[in-house]
Chain A
Amino acid sequence: MNGLESILGVIEGVGAAFITFYLVALGHSIFEKAGLLDLAIDGIFFMSTGAAVLGAVVFGNPIAGSLIAALIASLFGLLMAYLLTTLPISHGAVGLSLQFLGYGLGIVLGYPVRQQVGALYAFCYSHEALLEISAVALLLGLLTYYLIEKTKLGAAIRASGESPHAASALGVNVLTTRLVAAAIGFAIVGFGASFFPLLWQRYWDIKVYTLGYGWLAFTIALAAGRHPIFLIPMAFLFGGLVEYSVTIQSLLKLPADVAKLIPFMGALGAMLAYSFTRLGRIFASPQSLGKIYYKEEKTV
């Protein structure tokens, strides 16, 4: 009985971190499934947290915060997908640029209102909402799985990621497909990121952009092969590492920075583990991920 309770306690504790990481990694995965390399993730994550704070405070409601974050992130996804599909430009360069822009915009969006209200508690989700939000997150995961694996649109997204040229020859409109994938994907990223200030931390400040949690989500997605279902245990694991790093630290009497170090070491470890085992092949990245889609090339 006691054991069960403590297990439930852990699950509850990790819940909010799980929701955040799971949704961000899930949205990011949809985006990358379409062949678009997403190096903007950390900036989009931070920007979305700022947008969420803005929305929640302005409308006095956390749900509005989450939706506004989803909307703004989604617009950035559309911009990125459009640029990368219509022009022969580097996915990496555009992504990193948007990352920096995201840092700046996150502050522009979130900082003034945050300063105005001081504490965010009044604008956050209640503790009881955790269960419902978890259900929503898992439902989104299942829907994504269905979308990607079982529908024509999903096949088009995968095809655009594997080989946009062949996909086009098969009748896929690569631009439309990628725009849809990017809009849905980044909306989920923004939605997920909103739970960082509004559910998990119930706090937000300018330092959030130095945390690198967007990059952790990136790694989670990589480690789980961008698969909506495999993402679940992976996000839970990393959520736990981050959430319990403080506990681990006090238990083992380690400096705070050792605890901060653990998730990043874990991320690196996971990347290595996958690439050296058979799992790496199963979870292989889309073949054309990050490759420039350029139509008029004449090769011999």
Chain B
Amino acid sequence: MGSQQLELVLKDITKTFPGGVIALQDVSMKLKNGEFIALLGENGAGKSTLMKILYGIYTPDKGSIILNDEELSIRKPSDAIRRGIIMVSQSPQLIDRLTVAENLTLGLENVKPFAGFSRASIMIKEYSMKVGVKIKPDDKVWSLTYTQKQLVEIVRALVLGAKILILDEALTYLPLEERKKFYVFLQEFKRKGGAVVVITHKIPEALEVADRIVVLRKGRVSGELTREEATLEKVRELMFAEAAREITYERLPSSVKGERPVIKAEDLWVQGDFGVPAVKGVSIEVKEGEVAGIAGVVGNGQRELLEALIGLRRIDKGRVHIDGVDVTNKGIGNIRNMGVGFIPDLPLRYGVSQDNNIIENIAVLFHREKFVIDWDRVQGLTRDIIKTFKILTPSEFYPVKILSGGNLMKVVVGRELNYSRRALIAYNPTRALDEITAVQVRRIIKDKAMNERIAVIFASEDLDEVYQLSDTIYVMNSGKIHGPFDPETTPRDEIERLMVM
């Protein structure tokens, strides 16, 4: 690191994504050694895109990156690494089948192609001691927990000699204790001449640790605040502008639950993707007309639980009943036939077929009995969905891949809500929707529960959403479930405590 001067300037960065989505428009920002910057903004404001451009993952359409008066050409991450710019993302970018040392060796410039991994091993031991974490260089990455992987990522940044450290929600999901330890360490890193950019949605935390706060809104810088100027109110205003007042986080009215349980899980044990138990003995019951929300930090087994309920994931132990029928390991087909809607994690990957048009995407779910498709019926249905959700498309025969991300999400959500006759199982149901549509979707969900008496179980990383929508709140942490809690009477910090405990 040393004490040499360091000044990084991002100048007029513009980036457009396919579909004409303008992610960044003439964004400029500065960064000096000894600075700790928090980059804030709504989902989709362009924070991650900006940092990915700095790290060479995306190429900007326009704009320049200048380090100490020298214009850099960063076309790939290795170019950035060479300049001491290192990014750690929210999802670990490590190769599972390689060891920790192998993973870290890949970025070490001075290790020759035919050399081994001993240099990295030594450095890992040295730096992990400095940071105060325990990392074994010879462990395969797949055997590590999420927290351990993130620690490896951070140690990696130091091993690679980071001068500018970008943390894209990297600390957000670490346990509080680890996080605090890191903030202390980052302050020291800064004092020694490094620079830090943190992307986070935990605004209070950002206010506490950052020297300067840069806020993005809809791809533009909406303001900069020094530590002294910054208040929670000011930041919120910069993030949401006037719209902040329109968006309501008021609780939607509670629905009257029925007596009949629709979804019932008893002592469920389910494995995650790497063969370790992800759901550990979860029992849950959702009655007719009830909306149950599962709060939790990503990666605590919510996804696996929901996938097991819909029949996508094998259940090792325990039973699932839907409408009183035992559907344990009976497959998703049977459960879907019972009229259960499902919004998956990564909906654009799992919930939609890009090369087909809207009507085909809807038909393949709705048309279940006969061999010959009744296209007239499907067409009526499709038009309904397009109308209700204000999907911007010239016609129902428009290929889905040409729709914008938000409209695509509306196709998925609209289709699944419409399909839910008995129950809805949803993961982040309003992800990637603009706030207005998100509120509308929540209203529709609530409406279906109240008037059509469907049972809803959803998981969301957005605690506001959980509070707004749920009749019952559960918290999922490390594969175990806590609850039920009544949203009317349970304070948020109680839920937050259970989430990160």
Binding site for B on A (CB under 8 A): 147, 150-153, 155-156, 158-159, 162-163, 165-173, 287, 295-296, 298-300
Q: How far in angstroms is the closest Cβ of chain A from B244?
A: 23
Is B343's CB within 8 Å of the partner chain A? no
- The distance from the CB of A257 to the nearest CB of chain B, in whole angstroms, is 41
Closest A residue to B44 using CB positions: A300
* Chain A CB within 8 A of B160 CB: yes
Judging by beta carbons under 8 Å apart, are B17 and A298 in contact?
yes
Choose from A150, A166, A168, A299 the contact partner of B76 (Cβ within 8 Å). Answer: A168
B 334-374 to A, binary, CB cutoff 8 A, 1 in contact else 0: 00000000000011110000000000000000000000000
B interface residues, Cβ below 8 angstroms from A: 17-18, 21, 23, 55, 57-59, 76-78, 81, 87, 89, 93-98, 102-109, 111-117, 156, 160, 346-349, 405, 408-409, 431-432
Q: Are A155 and B117 in contact (CB under 8 A)?
A: yes
Let me know if A152 and B18 touch, CB within 8 A. no
A153-B113, A155-B98, A167-B106 given; A300·B93 CB < 8 A: no
With contacts A166-B95, A169-B77, A299-B349 taken as known, whether A155 is within 8 angstroms of B405 at the C-beta atoms is no
- Docked pose: A162 CA to B106 CA in angstroms: 14
B76 touches A152 (CB 8 A): no
Complex Cα–Cα for A151 and B432 (A) = 42
Cβ–Cβ < 8 Å partners of B108 in chain A: 152, 171
Other A-B pairs, 9, CB within 8 Å; known A152-B106, A159-B102: A150-B116, A151-B113, A151-B116, A163-B95, A165-B93, A170-B77, A171-B108, A287-B97, A298-B23
Q: Which residue of A lies closest to B43 (CB)?
A: A300
Q: Can you list the 7 inter-chain pairs with the closest CB atoms, starting with the nearest?
A: A171-B107, A153-B113, A300-B432, A169-B93, A155-B102, A170-B106, A166-B93
- The answer on a CB contact under 8 Å between A155 and B348 is no
A-B contact pairs, 26 of them (CB 8 A): A147-B114, A152-B106, A152-B112, A152-B114, A155-B117, A156-B106, A158-B95, A158-B97, A158-B98, A159-B102, A159-B106, A166-B93, A168-B76, A168-B78, A169-B77, A169-B89, A171-B77, A171-B107, A171-B109, A173-B78, A296-B17, A299-B348, A300-B346, A300-B347, A300-B405, A300-B408
- The CA of A287 and the CA of B98, in the complex, are separated in Å by 12
B76 to chain A: which residues have CB within 8 Å? Answer: 168, 173
Contact call B111/A152, Cβ cutoff below 8 A: yes
Contact A168 B77 (CB under 8 A): yes
Contacts of A167 in B (CB 8 A): 95, 106
Cα A167 to Cα B104 in complex, Å, equals 10
Closest-by-CB residue of A relative to B78 is A171
CA distance A171 to B56 in the complex (A): 10
Residues of B within 8 A of A298 (CB): 17-18, 21, 23, 405
The chain B residue sitting closest to A296, CB to CB, is B58
- Select the residue from A150, A171, A295, A299 with max chain B CB neighbours within 10 A: A171
Residues of B within 8 A of A152 (CB): 105-106, 108, 111-117
Q: In terms of DSSP, what is the predominant structure of the interface of chain B?
A: loop
Q: Which of A151, A153, A162, A295 contacts B95 (CB 8 A)?
A: A162
Instruction: Write the nearest CB–CB distance from B472 to chain A, whole angstroms.
Output: 28
Give the nearest-CB partner of A158 in chain B: B98
Q: How far is the CB of A181 from chain B (nearest CB, A)?
A: 11
Q: Is the CB of B93 within 8 A of A170?
A: yes
Tell me the complex Cα distance, A287–B273, Å. Answer: 13
Q: For residue B104, which residues in chain A have a CB less than 8 angstroms away from its CB?
A: 170
Asked if B57 contacts A295 (CB within 8 A), the reply is: yes
The answer to whether B96 and A162 touch across the interface, beta carbons within 8 angstroms, is: yes
Cα distance A287–B274 in the bound complex, in angstroms: 13
Cα separation A155 to B95 with both chains bound (whole Å): 10
Contacts of B347 in A (CB 8 A): 300
CB distance from A139 to the nearest CB of B (A): 16
Please state if A299 and B106 are interface contacts (CB–CB under 8 Å): no
- For B89, the closest partner residue in chain A by CB is A169
B401 to chain A, nearest CB (A): 12
Give every chain A residue within 8 A of B17 (Cβ-Cβ): 296, 298
| Interface pair A300/B431, CB less than 8 Å apart | yes
Q: How far is the CB of A26 from chain B (nearest CB, A)?
A: 18
**What residues of chain A lie closer than 8 Å to B405, measured between beta carbons?**
298, 300
Does B106 contact A155, Cβ atoms closer than 8 Å? Answer: yes
Bound Cα distance A151, B105 (Å):
9
Tell me which residues across on chain B come within 8 A of A169, comparing CB atoms: 55, 57, 77, 87, 89, 93
Q: Are A166 and B94 in contact (CB under 8 A)?
A: yes
Q: Contact: B115 with A300, CB < 8 Å? A: no
Q: Is the CB of B107 within 8 A of A159?
A: no
Residues in A neighbouring B113, C-beta threshold 8 A: 151-153, 156
- Least CB distance, A34 to chain B, in whole angstroms: 13
Q: How far is the CA of A287 from the CA of B104 in the complex (A)?
A: 20
- Chain B proximity of A294: nearest CB distance (Å): 11
A160 to chain B, nearest CB (A): 9
User: Which single residue of chain A is at the shortest CB-CB distance from B23?
Assistant: A298
- With both beta carbons as reference points, the residue of chain B lying nearest to A159 in the complex is identified as B95
B80 CB to nearest chain A CB (Å):
9
Contacts of B59 in A (CB 8 A): 296
- Closest residue to B19 on the A side, CB-wise? A298
- B102 contacts across to A, CB distance below 8 A: 155, 158-159
Most interface-central of B96, B102, B116 (chain A CB within 10 A): B102
Chain A nearest CB from B53 CB (Å) reads 12
Bound Cα distance from A163 to B91, whole angstroms: 14
Nearest-CB residue, chain B, relative to A153: B113
Q: Name A175's closest neighbour in chain B (CB-CB).
A: B76
Measured between C-beta atoms, what is the minimum distance from B267 to chain A in Å?
28
